[in-house]
Structure 1
Amino acid sequence: MAIPTIQSYPMPGPADLPAGKVAWRPDPERAVLLIHDMQEYFLDFFDVSREPIPELIANLRRVRERCAALGIPVVFTAQPAEQTPEQRGLLTDMWGHGLKTRPHRQPVIAELAPAPGDVVLVKWRYSAFQRSDLRQRMLDWDRDQLIIGGVYAHIGCMMTAADAFMGDVKPFLVADALADFSAENHATALTWVAQRCGVVTTTASLLDDLGEPRATVVDPGSLAAGAAHPPAGPADVLADVAQALGVPVADIGLDDNLLDHGIDSIRIMSLVERWRRVGAEVTFVELADSPTVGAWWALLATRIGHTRDA
């Protein structure tokens, strides 16, 4: 049996959440975010232009950006295109050959592409804990909460939540950051997790519970105050970055990897907020994916109507 073609259905909202049994709340000092199987292959079975997919992607991006800004580790699962019969095991009997039939669709979707510093786990079975080092990583990070979003809710996401619970990790299933074969399957996953092993929440409630990033040595207020106009060229971007890092402009080259200069998620989010305030709609993921001043100016120029300097 292959994965079926999936019909559109409305994303569940707050009124659709099942009653829970525990009152756990996510803690940014204890949580890990798991983005589950958001590969092109698995979304191909949906009409991605119709619900629940646009809302799924938008909500996962919001959760991912907040987690990155708070220093919460971000972990992806991704099934490999090449699997031997022994590696695939009983999955072949249940689902056929899977990604092997469309190996070019293996990547995580572009809207959620892993950023530098994110962890990508090879996914072998329904649960992200099976045949992976996720549990050991969480122990090493001293974290015991797992925020889960992605596809498919009633298979890998639900099984990962159950496995987390059995390892004394508190799972948080984000109801409107999931998708499934049907509204009924989606609801089944939410009800089972809420009643048996975890907390079911919404994106808005999760972000409220996690809170906003706290100020560090960089004062986001001072960054914002200095931004009266959008950057007019790479020199302005360089000045903004130097201010965020607290270093002289001369210390940074246009093509330097800013990770080597100490840029971190909180500083990146401060710059995102600064540039958004002056009309440049950029995201944390876009900046984190290409951490150089030159690349950032190339991106900003497309958002504020400039042409990149030669």
Structure 2
Amino acid sequence: MAIPKIASYPMPAQGWNNRVLWQPEARRAALLVHDMQDYFLDFYDRERAPVPELLANVRRLLDLARELGMPVIYTAQSPAQTPAERGLLQDMWGPGLTARPQRKDIAAELAPQPQDVVLDKWRYSAFQRSPLLELLRGQGRDQLIVCGIYAHIGCMATACEAFMSDIQPFFAADALADFSAQEHEMALRYVSQRCGVTLPTQALVDGLRPRLPASPGELRQIVADSLKIAAADPGEDESLLDWGLDSIRIMALLETWRRAGLDVDFMALAGQPTLAAWWALLNRREAEVCA
């Protein structure tokens, strides 16, 4: 059975209730661009959603990873697979790229650079029959940001195997695409609840290049996202403990702000858990750093 023609659908945009609060860090993470070959993209109308947003967000992650010195790893299926090498994939999906070997290249917009690694892809998971795990461990990387296609097949299988190898997977929600909106959402929910963290590209960018909130409104949004509540809900002087703030979430925010260069301790945040107090604290500490 071949891959079906894929109808246009809007890129998922809602938040996901991640079970863990892992934060992406450039010094720990590698970027995996999964099977972004013309062969697979040809099953979409490349001018319609979700493909333009997919390509733009993968490109954004690539540019940031290279800027920050993160390893960039691609997977690509070979058109030169024997039936024995293809194995059960032949029964499930047919001959694959062997039917259209001229479409084997990675999309030109995302072309690998000389310093990047391109791994042959043999099975759903990028870890199978490849040196991916050894590459990550050899470079001291214990986080893997996954983007590409297809979300509920190879991307999800790769994220799950990363988790089982003690590599923290991050699923780039809007830098993935799938057979349908339903299957895309299913993959995002599965990873968020069972093996990793699902985040939009902007949140991954903010985590990899942390910065301090630039306004009270931005602080409010960051806190609301952490607590999974509407940004308008808590009052400026209302205790965030009443909205679900706990020590784990405080530590996650604290670590992000520390990586942005701010020296704030846990008790400073926990002792006055209000938006007004936190904004005053951030302003005062940032002024001290800049002085």
Q: Same fold (TM over 0.5)?
A: yes
- Judge conservation of contact 2:159–2:169 (CA < 8 Å) in 1: yes
Q: Which amino acid aligns with 2:151?
A: A
Distance in 1 (CA, whole Å) between partners of 2:49 and 2:113 is 26
Structure 1 residue 212 displacement after superposition? 6.9
Classify the secondary structure of the residue corresponding to 2:62.
helix
Matched, 1:115 2:142: no
1:65 to 58, 63, 71: 63
1:81-100 aligned at under 5 Å gives the runs 81-100=79-98
| Structure 2 counterpart of 1:102 | 100
Q: Residue 209 of structure 2 is aligned with which of 208, 211, 215?
A: 211
Could you tell me which of 21, 24, 38 is aligned with 2:22?
Answer: 24
Q: Which amino acid counterpart does residue 137 of structure 2 have in structure 1?
A: L
SS at match of 2:134: helix
Residue correspondence of structure 1 range 153-168 to structure 2 within 5 A: 153-168=151-166
**Residues 69-80 of structure 1 correspond to what in structure 2 (within 5 A)?**
69-80=67-78
Q: What CA distance in whole angstroms lies between the structure 2 residues aligned with 1:92 and 1:115?
A: 31
**Aligned partner of 1:49: which letter?**
E
Alpha-carbon displacement from aligned partner over 1:102-157 (angstroms, at most 9, x marks no partner): 00000000000101100000000000000000000111101100000000000000
Paired residue for 2:176, among 175, 178, 187?
A: 178
Contact 2:150 2:176 in 1 (8 A): yes
Please tell me whether residue 10 in structure 1 is matched to residue 17 in structure 2.
Answer: no
Is the partner of 2:166 in helix, strand or coil?
coil
Take 1:86 and 1:18, find their aligned partners in 2: how far apart are those partners? 40
Q: Which runs of 4+ in 1 moved over 4 A?
A: none
Which blocks of at least 5 consecutive residues in structure 2 are unaligned?
212-291
Match of 2:150 in 1: 152
**Partner amino acid for 2:29?**
A
**Structure 1 residue aligned with 2:33, among 32, 35, 45?**
35
| Separation in structure 1 between the aligned mates of residue 4 and residue 210 of structure 2, nearest angstrom | 40
DSSP 3-state at the match of 1:34: strand
Distance in 2, Cα, partners of 1:90 & 1:18: 33
Offset of 1:87 from its aligned partner?
A: 0.3
Q: Is the 8 A contact 1:151 1:157 kept in 2?
A: yes
TM-score (normalizing by structure 1): 0.67
Say whether the 8 Å CA contact 1:17–1:175 is kept in structure 2: no
Q: Hey, what does 1:48 align to over in structure 2?
A: 46
Q: List gaps (5 residues or longer) in structure 1.
A: 214-310
1:27 match: secondary structure:
coil
Query: Structure 2: which amino acid aligns with 1:4?
Result: P
Q: Who is 1:190 aligned against?
A: 188
Shift in alpha-carbon separation, 1:71–1:212, aligned structure 2, 3 A: farther
Letter in 2 for 1:9: Y
Count of residue pairs brought into register by the alignment: 211
Aligned residues: percent identity?
58
Query: 1:8 and 1:131 mapped to 2: Cα distance?
Result: 33
Q: How many Å separate the matches in 1 of 2:114 and 2:23?
A: 28
The answer to whether the 8 Å contact 1:17/1:190 transfers is no
What is the distance in 1 between the residues matched to 2:180 and 2:203? 24
What is the CA distance between 1:63 and its match in structure 2? 0.6
| Deviation (angstroms), 1:12 | 1.1
Equivalent position amino acid for 2:204 in 1? L
Whole-Å Cα distance in 2 between the matches of residues 122 and 141 of structure 1? 20
Q: Distance in 1 between matches of 2:52 and 2:180?
A: 16
Matches within 5 A, 1:210-229: 210-211=208-209
Structure 2: distance between partners of 1:25 and 1:105? 36
1:204 Cα deviation after fit: 0.5
The CA distance in 1 between the partners of 2:110 and 2:18, in whole Å, is 29
AA at the equivalent of 2:208:
L
Quote the Cα distance in structure 1 between the aligned partners of 2:109 and 2:145.
Answer: 19
| Alignment equivalent of 1:143, drawn from 128, 134, 141 | 141
Q: Judging changes above 3 Å, is the alpha-carbon distance between structure 1 residues 212 and 116 closer, same or farther for their aligned structure 2 residues?
A: farther
TM-score, normalising length from structure 2?
Answer: 0.72
In the alignment, is the contact (CA less than 8 A) between 2:16 and 2:199 conserved in 1? no
Whether the 8 Å contact between 1:70 and 1:212 is mirrored in structure 2 is: no
Partners of 1:211 and 1:140 lie apart in 2 by 23
Letter in structure 1 aligned against 2:35: D
Mapping 1:231-250, distance limit 5 Å? none
1:18 to partner: Cα distance:
2.3
